[in-house]
Amino acid sequence: MKIKICGIQSPEAAEWAVESGADMIGLVFAPSRRQLDAKKARRIVDAVRGRIQCVGVFVNAPAREVMDIYEAVGLDYVQLHGDESKGYVNTLGLPVIKAFSINQMSVREMFQYDADYILIDSPPGKYRGGSGHAFDWSALDDSAIDKNKLILAGGINSLNIRAAYESVAPAGVDISSGVETGGKKDEKKIHELMEKMKGVDRNGKNLYTTE
């Protein structure tokens, strides 16, 4: 299962994600307290290039803007978290993660989008993206869902990531506030989450054996 740490705002936090064994980082270009400009995002990507996949998060941005930032920053994927249409996704011609809130439309409609991954999140709070709370994962018990393309988001942290893996079996999970303290990425929380997922702590101790 791939793990994406979203809302990265510094090369240091990106390095923590790499060191922990995460698969992707997310850089937010949409209005948000985690929003970056292309110049700062490029510095972050340059610091970890080739060691982790980098995803740019956009909400209802003009297609030309998305394509320009993708090239300027050197992204691996764009994540579309707004009301982008199927035609918009096809027009980009880029590797796409299309994100939806759980009640935005039926899961069958979500998986009709021609995207590399479909991300399903909790209902939004102030900004697009989840509220930091998990939704009822039983809503994903639907034969229309291709689990090989599903990324689960919303309220995932070190306490429930194993449950997400075991009960939903998505291709990936997306975590942001679940590895933050005071609105900033927390090195300890990033490593704790990855250790829980791997089942092994930094010292090589198996976390799931009982004695």
pLDDT at 211: 43
Annotate 67-93 with b (16+ C-beta within 10 A) or e (fewer).
Answer: bebbeebebbbbbbbeebeeebbeebe
pLDDT at residue 205 tops 80: no
- How would DSSP label each residue in 163-201? HHHHHT--SEEEESGGGEETTEE-HHHHHHHHHHHHTB-
Domains of the chain: 2-198 (3.20.20.70)
Work out the average pLDDT over 83-98: 97
148: amino acid identity, one letter: N
Least confident of 16-30, 132-146, 171-185, 188-202: 188-202
